[in-house]
Structure 1
């Protein structure tokens, strides 16, 4: 369903939390027993499982630090069970389910209730399951579960929405039909065994979701629900601050009445890839400028071998970037810019795929045979010399250390994941399955390698140059399949003989030793270095003291903003540096240390994260490479092509995403059109990029932010390394912050552009010139109640757009309120009229808002902002925005909480009236007109 709404909400709340309730008294029934789950020593959550009398398996996550609660329920049926005559039926049912129940008949009443209590909800349909999830303020959890669970007991499937939801599904299909990832997944079905259900279109559209003879779509949908939506085919996860016994009681109370039809859970018994689908080239011309080769092998479903991990053993060796490995050799030749390995053993159900994913350079397009030969040669080397317990011991030790210091994930993400994998994994091992490496099973590894042979491969050639001849059913683009020629197999073997390869050496960055953890004594960022041209700040973790640290070293300068050419060169420099440090970053990553080159706020920054013991050594290596970067034509060409492809791809994004790209360009100064950036790219020479890098490292202010397992001496060491490594020409500057233009109240900017898509997009933004956080607080609370009403009316009731939403924005210190939509069926002028009409009509609804709703929302939002971070990596972002903005008090979060506490309904209403109705704002409209004719739905 509508993922963008969830993304926008999460982004808004995360931004406010970075910048910045009562427990139910239900008791567990006597006699119920909970079984504890294995967990990391670093994990303070409590996990337990039990099964309801109706055979619904439940997992409970209890965490007293949470201020939100939520649920995820997966049903063990997905698109693979779609009837042949109704492609997309499972997805259509997912849309129809949440349109009222006998107890709560109003459509979207659950979503509205969740929104009013500081939460959100969504759903998705996969091949083998369908998932429904939500998160809400902890105090409203009991009532939310009453509403949520009712959809699995007595949904009404309101027939008045049947056609509307057909249109919604069609819009979702229309949005995704030009998305390369979706198209490739579709091709994996189209090119598979013709008897496998992957052949069928999974999403559905107006052509597939229609009555068939005497069988109506509506009755087929209800029959599908009755057939598969049984409690013994469901998995439920609840999370919250409530004790496990209380969560158990809530599960008993709300989910015990779901009918157990004692169904046999569906299982795909047909093999997805038979011998007939092996030994093939698959050519695809992507919609975005992508150059990729995927060497894919059919793989028997060995998911049950998770304790010995044969797939991951092979993948770890294959993907290594150590000297002499396939990835390193191919990079050095300038043929590839990316090399990853993935496995999905249950992709088709009974079987799956093992994939080697290779990003090709333009030069690499002409050397595909050599690339294939190198990969096959490396696989042969692993077969003959790589099945060795030494590699097992190293990987086992790495997993063990990661598990011991496990960073606990977001609880909703965790719940969704748990409810999905419960169908195939024992509940007791939900936490530790990924990290378990019970023993070295050479036989299992060899069994995997025996399937990774040239004769069984399927080689995907994804590039604009690919020769294609067949239309892809229901999706844009074309493809072609061609069987391997026996002469090709001989050629690959011959070419491989000329390539020297070697297996990776032991990782000297990994240590099983436990480093000393510093005492947490600096709980607010403190400046510990203040020297000409360099400053360093340190803060310790309040909640997650461990061996982990996060270091960002920013080279603060206005250089990237001086011209379009400089802006492009700032991107190219980072791309080249990323290419040059690939091997080091790969080795560090395997040892639990993250390394990166970033562009925060148009600056350049080196980052280190993870186990902090070797950060000084790695920082010194990185900085020396950064300051003394050498440039060659090969890397320069690869970087330029990457940037050009990125620009081309951005122009082919969905309209809903392009709306925000254009808004940012209009609001940020300086900024440049994509065409201006493309023109600048053409002008840049290798000498230009060398001079840019020289200027960059010679003229800046170094700003260091250190969080976590460092003491003052460590941070001063980072500063000393910097002082010693920077060039003699270093001109030490004061801080630079890009200026922000104050919004001019009463002005109206209207941007209209044509885009190469079938859909239209509209965005309306209203910016205040008031910089106080009172405006932020008012707009955030307004958005929390406005966006669901806006969505319900324009999307659910009127179907004028599939992506419909609202959000808040911040440009400098100025705040704005945004409405947006993407539509397949409405002209821009009509959509604009609907926006304006809704804004006018909502005035009465806002005035009539119950004060209790706003009070509950305020309490929930404050509780969520104050919620302790779940892991180390969720903690430091709350300081970074103030660091970037030069707020040395680091008090934005505290001031925002105070502003939200002081916000009244009268203030929210007055802000809405002034900003939206009286247009006491700087108004920005972005209109994107789709210029491509809609293709038939097949």
Structure 2
């Protein structure tokens, strides 16, 4: 590499032994710190730039400015003034981009086909050198920001967040409104917002405030040259920004109790403790160690004891906001109906457990357990998509030493007992904010934004005294040693070079697929076991029963399997339209033993009536309020219900559970499991004898006699040609519209044609309906496959435009798009084929994605595992003129289309 590229060697960044990428940091002459990543087998390249500027930096009279600037950076620069120059270039070459604005950082990232990396970087870098901030787009993007604000106006987390802001120190920047709206972003007398954008950009968007990651298959020297070529003109380092000096809370904002009345039915208790900033503790991760113990869910734990009292459903520890001068440490508890009347008892139990941890739990062996788990996670770290990796590391570079850009997330150098005691000493009632969330609570105030009703008052002397003593019969204990941590992590020798799953066993009711992984060599594996239950697809009462059964099983296993869970052995049980699937992942050596536990539960599980009632009510509440503030998601759900068998409306499922008794539930379970077929897939660190053992276990699950299996239900075919239109009642005032265009058959050719259509439609519908026409913040299109039958889904959710205007805009867009295809040149067509071909040939990023892909094809009945190759071949051979005729027939002349829209019934 050139001498100027870096003052570090290529091994200056600590990486996992499983990581085959090359890393090299460098610093440009302007002070910009860069991390180069080479992944030779990649077909894409990616970049990410994280800026140490967020909504904390907004001027008091211009709240939301950092977020607004993030939007406008994409909309034209001096070098590339066209508003869509950046997004169109990426879409043309198989890429995508995104960004976010946080409290103290903003992050911008994209990926693109590797051979187009340099011209993509030219467009990306120009945003951080000379953005236009065109007045035309300032006016339009104000509407977009307003739409984004309105979209989340009824979001429960936003409302809780706003109460948090309004009850914190007004001298700390956390109190500021982060999103912005038409009011905060309007022009002020004598001060244009454009000038404030320019001032903000000049002040914060300089090289010293930025961290850049460039990643791709190019040699490191070439990546270094690209960094110099495109980013040397970024404003030079202006030095460090001023530190925040004000505390997050005033003294009168601690030792308080808050009430928040949610819009949806919910019961939650959050204990928040104000701690100092934790960035300088990343090498030891003291708060993670404390959270590991307080959030333990195994036998005799705090969580277990509170569940046994019938007061809580879940407990987690360690979350909460953090920043450069503060850290909130949260203990987050989901309450039962009975728990809402025992919140003081719950708080007393939490404080008693904290005191027990401080007195007896700060021990090296406990820290070493957590350290071993972190080391194992790092050693067998699974790679992620290159663009996601770049975006993550760009932020990490702001928080960690350059050598720890990767390892910093896992590093645990040893227990700092003094710091642990120091922080536990701050976890007291006097330093706490205790938040209760329930519709039953009295409130006295309302936030200015989001209209959240709340109340705040100091903890009473009686409460403070009560919290000094544990509740009656309190018996929670600190965790014992975890037997799963010292599990065998060896990797079996490769028994075969086979690269595709093979059918290991097949009989009438049992099919087992097997593949020993030889690409991602690790001690991990994935085990899928699918219980096919045809009755679920036709009987919504049985489907509701199955959903409740899955919740109860996972709840009953949460305690007994918790040690395995935190040691990296995970299980999930979930219903789908034709059955119940169990997915086990993690260290393969322990998975069959965990499967035995799951199978035993299937055959023997009988929930206690009280716990059954708690989870039944929880599901009813969740289903009743699921789409109350999400009209576009309501329409997606309605589409599935109308087209795909085995999909039911959540409101209908809630009604089924409302009338379901415990005795009938038991009867439904017997009916649910017959007839039964089992399909399984074992993939990862396994040998053929393990597949034999799996077969033996599953054979025992098949009943001796079965009812006759029902024929599988097929996707509902829409009439062609037809344009059906239906309206769905919503509890949200936004207009939402979706257009589903259904394919004629499930052939690979039809799938390939819809993929081409989606590749062309997606950027244009966003550009025209969202950016130019400002119809709404949620605008887009998706390729939609239902049981291999392809289709297209276009959607808009608008705060201001009526349904008729949105529908007319979508219809006009399709007409204009169809006409524009006459200008589609042979050169552009070739680019489309090459870009899609590369996307279809992208290799799996990790073992998980590979397993998911194979399992998806097994579930869809594609045992040749050639779907991607077939689609790639068809795309490469597809005639431009024939595809245009196909599009005209499917979308314009003879569409099979279903329009769904929502109207507000408030």
TM-score, structure 1 normalization: 0.93
Q: What is the DSSP-based 3-state SS (H/G/I as helix, E as strand, rest coil) of the residue aligned with 1:413?
A: helix
- Contact map agreement 2:741 2:793 (CA 8 A) in 1: yes
1:651 and 1:90 mapped to 2: Cα distance?
A: 30
- Which residue is 1:701 aligned to? 677
- Contact map agreement 1:67 1:137 (CA 8 A) in 2: yes
- Which residue is 1:921 aligned to? 895
Deviations 1:751-777 (A, max 9, x none): 212312131111112112232221221
- Contact map agreement 1:301 1:352 (CA 8 A) in 2: yes
2:787 and 2:718 mapped to 1: Cα distance?
A: 10
Which of the numbers 862, 866, 876 marks the counterpart of 1:891? 866
- Contact map agreement 2:298 2:561 (CA 8 A) in 1: no
Instruction: Describe the shift of the 1:846–1:552 C-alpha distance in structure 2 as closer, same or farther (beyond 3 A).
Output: same
2:788 and 2:145 mapped to 1: Cα distance?
A: 39
Q: What is the DSSP-based 3-state SS (H/G/I as helix, E as strand, rest coil) of the residue aligned with 1:102?
A: coil
2:725 and 2:495 mapped to 1: Cα distance?
A: 52
Q: What is the DSSP-based 3-state SS (H/G/I as helix, E as strand, rest coil) of the residue aligned with 2:407?
A: coil
User: Once structures 1 and 2 are overlaid, which stretch shifts more, 699-708 or 463-472?
Assistant: 463-472
- Which residue is 1:23 aligned to? none
- Which residue is 1:103 aligned to? 79
- Contact map agreement 2:260 2:455 (CA 8 A) in 1: yes
1:72 and 1:438 mapped to 2: Cα distance?
A: 29
- Which residue is 2:539 aligned to? 563
1:608 and 1:233 mapped to 2: Cα distance?
A: 43
Matches within 5 A, 1:112-131: 112-131=88-107
Q: Does 1:85 align with 2:61?
A: yes
Which of the numbers 353, 378, 382 marks the counterpart of 1:403? 378
2:471 and 2:219 mapped to 1: Cα distance?
A: 60
Deviations 1:447-495 (A, max 9, x none): 1211111221111111222222211221132111121001012223344
Q: Does 1:455 align with 2:434?
A: no
- Contact map agreement 1:745 1:768 (CA 8 A) in 2: no
- Which residue is 1:357 aligned to? 332
Q: What is the DSSP-based 3-state SS (H/G/I as helix, E as strand, rest coil) of the residue aligned with 1:237?
A: strand
Q: Does 1:524 align with 2:522?
A: no
User: Once structures 1 and 2 are overlaid, which stretch shifts more, 761-770 or 593-602?
Assistant: 593-602
1:363 and 1:31 mapped to 2: Cα distance?
A: 64
Higher relative contact order (CA 8 A, sep 6+): 1
Which of the numbers 147, 154, 162 marks the counterpart of 1:171? 147
- Contact map agreement 1:85 1:212 (CA 8 A) in 2: no
Matches within 5 A, 1:789-828: 789-828=764-803
Instruction: Describe the shift of the 1:268–1:853 C-alpha distance in structure 2 as closer, same or farther (beyond 3 A).
Output: farther
* Cα shift at 1:294: 0.8
Q: Does 1:296 align with 2:276?
A: no
* Cα shift at 1:548: 0.6
- Contact map agreement 1:325 1:378 (CA 8 A) in 2: no
- Which residue is 1:374 aligned to? 349
Q: What is the DSSP-based 3-state SS (H/G/I as helix, E as strand, rest coil) of the residue aligned with 1:367?
A: helix
Q: What is the DSSP-based 3-state SS (H/G/I as helix, E as strand, rest coil) of the residue aligned with 2:678?
A: strand
* Cα shift at 1:186: 2.1
- Which residue is 1:182 aligned to? 158
- Which residue is 1:536 aligned to? 512
- Which residue is 1:936 aligned to? none
1:823 and 1:434 mapped to 2: Cα distance?
A: 40
Q: What is the DSSP-based 3-state SS (H/G/I as helix, E as strand, rest coil) of the residue aligned with 2:506?
A: strand
User: Once structures 1 and 2 are overlaid, which stretch shifts more, 260-269 or 703-712?
Assistant: 260-269
* Cα shift at 1:730: 5.7
* Cα shift at 1:670: 4.8
Matches within 5 A, 1:492-511: 492-496=467-471, 498-511=473-486
- Contact map agreement 2:372 2:485 (CA 8 A) in 1: no
Deviations 1:613-650 (A, max 9, x none): 11121111121012111122122112212221221232
1:518 and 1:478 mapped to 2: Cα distance?
A: 61
- Which residue is 1:717 aligned to? 693
Q: Does 1:438 align with 2:413?
A: yes
TM-score, structure 2 normalization: 0.96
- Which residue is 2:548 aligned to? 572
- Which residue is 1:656 aligned to? 632
- Which residue is 1:755 aligned to? 730
Gaps of 5+ in 2: none
Matches within 5 A, 1:195-594: 195-260=171-236, 262-344=238-320, 347-496=322-471, 498-511=473-486, 513-519=488-494, 521=496, 522-594=498-570
1:741 and 1:754 mapped to 2: Cα distance?
A: 22
- Which residue is 1:11 aligned to? none
Matches within 5 A, 1:600-749: 600-724=576-700, 726=701, 731=706, 737-749=712-724
- Contact map agreement 1:541 1:875 (CA 8 A) in 2: no
User: Once structures 1 and 2 are overlaid, which stretch shifts more, 791-800 or 490-499?
Assistant: 490-499
1:226 and 1:373 mapped to 2: Cα distance?
A: 51
User: Once structures 1 and 2 are overlaid, which stretch shifts more, 529-538 or 799-808?
Assistant: 529-538
Gaps of 5+ in 1: 1-26, 933-938
Which of the numbers 815, 822, 847 marks the counterpart of 1:872? 847
- Contact map agreement 1:74 1:234 (CA 8 A) in 2: yes
- Which residue is 1:162 aligned to? 138
User: Once structures 1 and 2 are overlaid, which stretch shifts more, 550-559 or 634-643?
Assistant: 634-643
Q: What is the DSSP-based 3-state SS (H/G/I as helix, E as strand, rest coil) of the residue aligned with 2:514?
A: strand
User: Once structures 1 and 2 are overlaid, which stretch shifts more, 193-202 or 489-498?
Assistant: 489-498
1:673 and 1:601 mapped to 2: Cα distance?
A: 12
Instruction: Describe the shift of the 1:736–1:894 C-alpha distance in structure 2 as closer, same or farther (beyond 3 A).
Output: farther
* Cα shift at 1:927: 0.7
2:32 and 2:739 mapped to 1: Cα distance?
A: 46
Instruction: Describe the shift of the 1:520–1:866 C-alpha distance in structure 2 as closer, same or farther (beyond 3 A).
Output: farther
- Contact map agreement 1:517 1:545 (CA 8 A) in 2: no
Residue correspondences, number:
903
Instruction: Describe the shift of the 1:351–1:133 C-alpha distance in structure 2 as closer, same or farther (beyond 3 A).
Output: same
Q: What is the DSSP-based 3-state SS (H/G/I as helix, E as strand, rest coil) of the residue aligned with 1:807?
A: strand
Instruction: Describe the shift of the 1:871–1:674 C-alpha distance in structure 2 as closer, same or farther (beyond 3 A).
Output: closer
* Cα shift at 1:700: 0.6
- Contact map agreement 2:570 2:584 (CA 8 A) in 1: yes
- Which residue is 1:598 aligned to? 574
User: Once structures 1 and 2 are overlaid, which stretch shifts more, 508-517 or 478-487?
Assistant: 508-517
Which of the numbers 112, 133, 142 marks the counterpart of 1:136? 112
Matches within 5 A, 1:46-61: 46-61=22-37
2:151 and 2:441 mapped to 1: Cα distance?
A: 24
Instruction: Describe the shift of the 1:268–1:861 C-alpha distance in structure 2 as closer, same or farther (beyond 3 A).
Output: farther
- Contact map agreement 2:259 2:437 (CA 8 A) in 1: yes
Runs (4 or more) in structure 1 with deviation over 6 Å come to 732-736
1:452 and 1:730 mapped to 2: Cα distance?
A: 59
Instruction: Describe the shift of the 1:30–1:833 C-alpha distance in structure 2 as closer, same or farther (beyond 3 A).
Output: same
Calculate the aligned-residue CA RMSD, in Å.
2.0
- Contact map agreement 1:326 1:378 (CA 8 A) in 2: yes
Deviations 1:586-638 (A, max 9, x none): 21121111111122444112221110111121111121012111122122112
Deviations 1:544-602 (A, max 9, x none): 02211100111111121232211111110101111101113321121111111122444
Deviations 1:868-889 (A, max 9, x none): 2222112111111221123332
* Cα shift at 1:840: 1.2
* Cα shift at 1:192: 0.7
1:893 and 1:642 mapped to 2: Cα distance?
A: 41
User: Once structures 1 and 2 are overlaid, which stretch shifts more, 170-179 or 263-272?
Assistant: 263-272
1:563 and 1:640 mapped to 2: Cα distance?
A: 18
- Contact map agreement 1:56 1:232 (CA 8 A) in 2: yes
2:779 and 2:599 mapped to 1: Cα distance?
A: 45
Instruction: Describe the shift of the 1:896–1:398 C-alpha distance in structure 2 as closer, same or farther (beyond 3 A).
Output: same
1:622 and 1:407 mapped to 2: Cα distance?
A: 26
1:413 and 1:466 mapped to 2: Cα distance?
A: 42
Which of the numbers 782, 806, 809 marks the counterpart of 2:757? 782
2:488 and 2:897 mapped to 1: Cα distance?
A: 58
- Contact map agreement 1:294 1:459 (CA 8 A) in 2: yes
User: Once structures 1 and 2 are overlaid, which stretch shifts more, 791-800 or 597-606?
Assistant: 597-606
